[in-house]
Structure 1
Amino acid sequence: MASSTVTSSQPDRPPRPNLAFRQLRGRRSPAEFAALVRRAAREIGERVCCDARYVGRVEAGEIRCPNYAYERVFLHMFPGRTLTDLGFAPRSSVRGRAARPAADGPPEPTAGELTTAGTGGAAETWEAFEPYDRQDPYDRYEPYEKDHPNHEESDVLRRAFMTGGGATVAAATLGPLRLTTDALAAVRPGRRPGSPEAAALEEAVRRIRLLDDRHGADGLYRRAAAPLRAAYALLDAGATRQTTVDRLHAGAGELAISVGWLAHDSGRFDDARSHYAEALATARMTGDAGLEAHAFCNTAFLARDSGRPREAVRAAQAAQRAARPLGSARLMSLLALREAGGWAGLADRTGCEQALARAQALFERGHCDADPEWMSFYGEAELEGLEAQCWSMLGDWGRAARHARRAAEVQDPHFTRNIALYTAELADDLAREGRPDEAAAAGLRVLSLLDQVQSSRIQSMLAGTARVLLPHRRASGVSEFLDRHASMPRTGRA
């Protein structure tokens, strides 16, 4: 990234307390008010990490203007009021970084930034918050309900896990994703990893998932291997407290699954299988049913994509056995969809339909506190998208297209990669159904997203669609799609 022309992200004057916001909190504690904020967010489909520390920062004036997600939540909580009424400054008055282009939404990392992040001289840190809360597109995940992290350690863990070389990375980029000398010191003789390292590991998992949501796997996989090695080095070093040991094992397992998914989505199936097996072994060693279910869930998906549908069914059923005691209907719904994908691969329409019916019924039970954090991606759009893939494998192109279209329409804009995926699925289904003009239009929409998304899976789908559309070059829009697709640079494996 280019260095900012502003030497410090801190305001020139001391922050002024936000008395209006403090008054709105009333007699509730900061933690109680934060819970109300999270509840209001869920009501409108947002996910924000609001806690007592965030409320305190707002009231102290450290956040002069909230990010876009929080803005939507606050305006929902206090209808009829503006940000100014809530004690915030106008957004235009606090966004003044010369390096940031003016825009209606928050700044997004580009594909180039993903490739080069961490190599330049950006002089800003994640700890040096701007008065404008910059973390908008990535502040989507709530902490574990039963986890009470020491938020004062957050600055330490960010430096420890998420920085590289001599410069830190901006909040909107993943950077080199490797441990610094300070963090590696924790695994040397005489030093034991503790809560900061466990929290850093959990944060790394979230960051990888969030950037994959936006940009796909191809630009992330190689850099994500370094923190995975470091995670297992932390395990080898051994922690003193059992609670820390458990967090490190769970974090390392989830990180192995995240890295495995990056390998999976970028076409490295053997690597993905190895990472998923590593996560499963970690789960079995520690008796972590949630991690075991997650590992089997991804193994089932990989088996389906690798042309091993019977293994996909068995893995999905194993995941359901592990997940049943956890009490999450949404998790069981997703696992039923994994099983449906296996049955579709076996051309067993009856088995597929039964699994899909279970998935729909379980999904309709809604969210609960037992839902795993990693399932934040699983909503109506993913349900529709996975069902579309099942019907596509069964050759029911019209039904597949209807579900794929619905998936793309209802997907949260945050998940850019999934919007591209569902639209690519739609384009392929329409092409095979014999609707080349509509297929080309959908394909063009996908091409317009590929400057933000790097996914070998999506590129492979588009290549298949292009082959189907070749005989229909004279149809409306098809020639344009084929020409643009042919000229599209292939990102290859990063």
Structure 2
Amino acid sequence: MASSSVTPSQPPPPAARPNLAFRDLRGQRSPAEFAAAVRRAACEIGERVSCDARYIGRVESGEIRCPNYAYERVFLHMFPGRTLTDLGFVPRSAVRGRGARGVEEAPLPRTDDPAHVPYVPDTTGGTCAPYDTHQTDQDHEESDVRRRAFMTGGTATMAAVSLSPLALGGAAQAEQRPGRRPGMSEAGALEEAVRKIRVLDDRHGADGLYRRAATPLRTAYALLDAGATRQSATDRLYSGAGELAISVGWLAHDSGRFDDARSHYAEALATARMAGDPALEAHAFCNTAFLARDAGRPREAVRTAQAAQRAARPLGSARLMSLLALREAGGWAGLADRTGCEQALARAQALYERGPTESDPEWMSFYGEAELEGLEAQCWSMLGDWPRAARHARHAARLQEPHFTRNIALYKAELADDLARGGRPDEAAAVGMEVLDLLGEVQSSRIQTMLAGTARVLLPHRRASGVSSFLERHASLPRPA
């Protein structure tokens, strides 16, 4: 009798159990902070692991029942005298074999080929090798943001609640049906999700949206893993997933979660490299440059902005090249290189004046004359030229279209700070009051941080007109959780 060719069905995997022991070891550190500690420990013993907050979340939720050998060596180095069982993992023998073998036992990705490892400088202060951003399954799971307490009350909450379906729920269910592979409809749903996130961010800021946006990002990469029916659909799915990773990264960036933002931007860059998508690569580099500037790494900002320009040059978009020149200018300003900054600003202005074209990316809808003025204001502020910075910030606030509520608040916060530092406390307080009026609708840690800096500058000027009222109202603001 011929042997049957039917493969016996595999038993369902055991339900994940939270790893409470590992969670206890993290203590008061955030998942991102703990992931940074893991990467530093890896450096100490010559290992390279792509650990981020998402990986820590997967371990703590029990999805990773046993780490691969590299992580095992790092964890045992971090907690000498303990075994994997002490750390809350199951014995390796329990996850070996056909049925049990999962991503935790997958081979480590190659890290010796520079063409496949986009460089993302370390932000932990250590001297570790470049952060490995290979897109393993570990990199595509939801991060700690899903477990963070979500803000309650206010317009931004309602906006975030409206974000939850994103038209991706149906796409995910379709992807899970036997024999059903994602196609153009799922790609379209993904692109619509990106648009919706951007619109909500423009109106309400990032703080109330970040946690919600992580869910469709996970769905996007699940669709990629399922494999599309046609190459055209595959290309759109890769592009959409990368753009969504950038959008979620920006929400992290604007809400002050720089480590999370870096992880998302690196994810988008890796996706762009795998898909051979120069437009997505330029966008990922663009945002990485902006993050580097805000995180106090100006030289990295310059080099990353220049890399973005190299990727974007063949695309034929003068407006994109203008924005990237502004990103470079911000890096030069952070380095206190006035000449380099002025040259980049002049290039940005000249490119902008060439006007829009059909090749301008959709995501650049925010980039108009107001944003040009606002970014230039930031450059002059970093160079300490407060009157010039205030002039550009004032122009930015006046030019901004009304539906970009977040940007109006941002430009006015920049203006208030420039006026305060430029010795005009009464005007700074009046503009600061206007920003406070907008904070009921806009939730942005970045804007709140700027206002806090302005308040500190104005403290010695309490007797100036309006300053005391501004300081009292600012002090009464609820502090972010």
TM-score by length of 2: 0.67
Runs of 5+ unmatched residues, structure 2: 1-151
Superposed counterparts of 1:412-451, under 5 Å? 412-451=401-440
Q: Deviations over 1:272-324 (max 9, x none)?
A: 00000000001111110100000000000000000100000000000000000
Do structure 1's residue 379 and structure 2's residue 421 form an aligned pair? no
Which residue among 258, 263, 267 is the counterpart of 1:274?
Answer: 263
How far apart are the structure 2 equivalents of 1:266 and 1:376?
Answer: 21
Superposed counterparts of 1:9-408, under 5 Å? 112-116=154-158, 173-175=162-164, 177=166, 179-180=168-169, 183-408=172-397
One-letter amino acid of the structure 2 residue matched with residue 225 of structure 1 = A
Aligned partner of 2:468 in structure 1 is 479
User: Would the alpha carbon gap of residues 289 and 182 (structure 1) be closer, same or farther in structure 2, given more than 3 Å must change?
Assistant: closer
Q: Deviations over 1:203-255 (max 9, x none)?
A: 00000000000000000000100000000000000011111000000000000
How far apart are the structure 2 equivalents of 1:175 and 1:181?
Answer: 12
User: Would the alpha carbon gap of residues 400 and 182 (structure 1) be closer, same or farther in structure 2, given more than 3 Å must change?
Assistant: closer
One-letter amino acid of the structure 1 residue matched with residue 451 of structure 2 = L
CA drift of 1:189 comes to: 3.9
Contact 2:167 / 2:189 at 8 angstroms: preserved in 1? no
CA drift of 1:185 comes to: 3.1
Contact 2:319 / 2:355 at 8 angstroms: preserved in 1? yes
Aligned partner of 2:454 in structure 1 is 465
One-letter amino acid of the structure 1 residue matched with residue 258 of structure 2 = F
SS of equivalent to 1:386: helix
Runs of 5+ unmatched residues, structure 1: 1-109, 120-172
User: Would the alpha carbon gap of residues 376 and 181 (structure 1) be closer, same or farther in structure 2, given more than 3 Å must change?
Assistant: closer
One-letter amino acid of the structure 2 residue matched with residue 432 of structure 1 = R
One-letter amino acid of the structure 1 residue matched with residue 343 of structure 2 = Q
Contact 1:187 / 1:193 at 8 angstroms: preserved in 2? no
Contact 2:181 / 2:229 at 8 angstroms: preserved in 1? yes
One-letter amino acid of the structure 2 residue matched with residue 233 of structure 1 = A
- Pairwise CA RMSD: 1.5
How far apart are the structure 1 equivalents of 2:415 and 2:273?
Answer: 39
CA drift of 1:490 comes to: 2.4
One-letter amino acid of the structure 2 residue matched with residue 367 of structure 1 = P
How far apart are the structure 2 equivalents of 1:488 and 1:476?
Answer: 21
Aligned partner of 1:76 in structure 2 is none
How far apart are the structure 2 equivalents of 1:368 and 1:200?
Answer: 26
User: Would the alpha carbon gap of residues 182 and 239 (structure 1) be closer, same or farther in structure 2, given more than 3 Å must change?
Assistant: closer
CA drift of 1:190 comes to: 1.6
Contact 2:305 / 2:324 at 8 angstroms: preserved in 1? yes
CA drift of 1:183 comes to: 3.2
How far apart are the structure 2 equivalents of 1:272 and 1:178?
Answer: 24
How far apart are the structure 2 equivalents of 1:313 and 1:216?
Answer: 26
SS of equivalent to 2:360: coil
How far apart are the structure 1 equivalents of 2:310 and 2:176?
Answer: 36
User: Would the alpha carbon gap of residues 270 and 178 (structure 1) be closer, same or farther in structure 2, given more than 3 Å must change?
Assistant: farther
SS of equivalent to 1:368: coil
Say how many residue pairs are matched.
330
Contact 1:401 / 1:429 at 8 angstroms: preserved in 2? yes
